[in-house]
Amino acid sequence: MSDFTGRWSGEIKGTNNGKFVLELEQSGDKLNGKLSLSDDVVGLTKVTVTGEALERTAKFKLEPKEHGPGVGLAPGWATATLQTDGSITGDWETEGETFDRFLAKRGENEPVAPTEHEVTTPSVALETATFHTKTSRIPSCVVDTDVLKRLFNALVTGASQLAGSQQGPSLPLPTSRTDSSPYRVTIVATGENGEQIATLDPEILNTERLPKPLKSILLDIGLYYRLMNNGANPPNTASVTIDFSKPHLIDLSNASGSPTPNESTIGVNGANLIWVSGVYETLLSTLAQTKVRTGWLHSAHIYDALLLVIGLPAVLISSATVASRLEKSPGTSFAIATFVFVFFWSLTIFRLSFSLARWLLPYVEFSNVSQPLHRQVRVAIATLILGILASLVAAAIWAIFHSS
């Protein structure tokens, strides 16, 4: 039976990278100890180790005990083989589907792992870590299947960079597990009737396989990581949410100062500013190429501006004109009642015309082509509606100044 007692210092390579200190005590064939791991991504972690010593090999059970806030670690196991030079090599994996190769040497002077003082204060190191976040609302646009595939490929590139940054040349991964990176792009397609499809297969982005009518699409780096790590939050995430929902056709709610409700967003978060900025700019530039000119219609305060410039003048002038035509004695109760009646009905018509324009030209629209003909027709209709309102203003002004 081999003796594994001592302080081992080493490093891991694989889905996780880092350096560690393993302190073992052996009694017969029983092993007990503690492992202090300085992971390149999740920071400092302390693990309780129990196991069994055999001839030149050992088997360990790993139970995480201390780790930073927001980090979820699953139990695992490891096997080690004693080499002729006195070092140990082996592999380990966890229930969360992370796996690694490791190499360690016995001795107090190996400068490959954090000191005991550093290990006993993991929360300080983690709390001072810098994370970078970039988020924004997607601009008003028309999205087709080609755009969805380009967004998916951009996220695949970002996920590959994350997976690649965790690989090392000195300790190759087991060949049977090379496709199990926790950084995968998940697609979630939701239909307006409640149906939902979640998959890793990009073929779902073909039009014939998507739910109809389509309500939203989510492309996400991070969801698969959570599924594989018992709900633990990933250190790096990126997502694109595209909301194809339309505003109500008849909407008399208060639109003052409010943009069109829409959940279309881009969000990227991570410790590497270069990675965060690169993925964010790629996603944003891809969607910017599909931007439409009618986005101003969905801006905040646009209803207020149109009401002041077009709506109120048209409503006031039309109300005054109708009241003066129906009653030859201005100022009577009938004239006042007529003015109030026409004023509120004209204001309601203006509000309905505004909601109709937003409904005809939704903030984000899904189509088989980048600029569909039916949208161009709706642009013409919306322009006609606003033109009619402007013409009413001009006609009312002319009628007032030319009335006898």
Q: Is the peptide bond before 234 cis (omega within 30 degrees of 0)?
A: no
Q: What is the mean pLDDT of the chain?
A: 76
Measure the CA–CA gap between 210 and 204, rounded to whole angstroms: 6
Q: Coil, strand, or helix at residue 151?
A: helix
pLDDT of residue 403 exceeding 60 = no
Contacts of 34 (CB under 8 A, 6+ apart): 22, 23, 46, 47, 48, 49
Measure the CA–CA gap between 217 and 148, rounded to whole angstroms: 9
pLDDT > 90: percent of the chain: 15
Q: Return the minimum-mean-pLDDT range out of 3-17, 198-212, 345-359, 367-381.
A: 367-381
Could you read off the pLDDT of 275-328 as tens digits, one per residue?
999 999 999 999 988 888 877 778 778 888 888 887 788 778 777 777 777 655
User: Which stretches within 139-213 are classed as H helix?
Assistant: 145-165
Please tell me which residue, 149 or 374, carries the higher pLDDT value: 149
Q: For residue 109, name the pLDDT band (cuts at 50, 70, 90).
A: very low
pLDDT given for residue 172 in this prediction = 35
- Hey, which residues does 141 pair with through a beta bridge? 291, 364
Could you read off the pLDDT of 335-358 as tens digits, one per residue?
777 778 878 887 888 888 888 888
Cβ(87)–Cβ(2) under 8 Å? no
Could you read off the pLDDT of 244-260 as tens digits, one per residue?
988 777 776 766 667 78
pLDDT given for residue 227 in this prediction = 81
pLDDT of residue 176 exceeding 80 = no
CA distances from 74 to 8, 94, 98, 327 (A): 22, 6, 9, 83
φ/ψ (deg, to 5) at 72: -110, 125
pLDDT > 70: percent of the chain: 72
Q: Return the minimum-mean-pLDDT range out of 134-143, 310-319, 326-335.
A: 326-335
Contacts of 311 (CB under 8 A, 6+ apart): 347, 350, 389
Tokens representing 2?
């081999």
Q: Return the minimum-mean-pLDDT range out of 82-91, 115-124, 258-267, 373-382.
A: 115-124
In order of start, what are the domains of the chain with their CATH numbers? 6-122 (2.40.128.120), 132-291 (no CATH), 302-402 (no CATH)
Measure the CA–CA gap between 64 and 204, rounded to whole angstroms: 38
pLDDT of residue 161 exceeding 90 = no
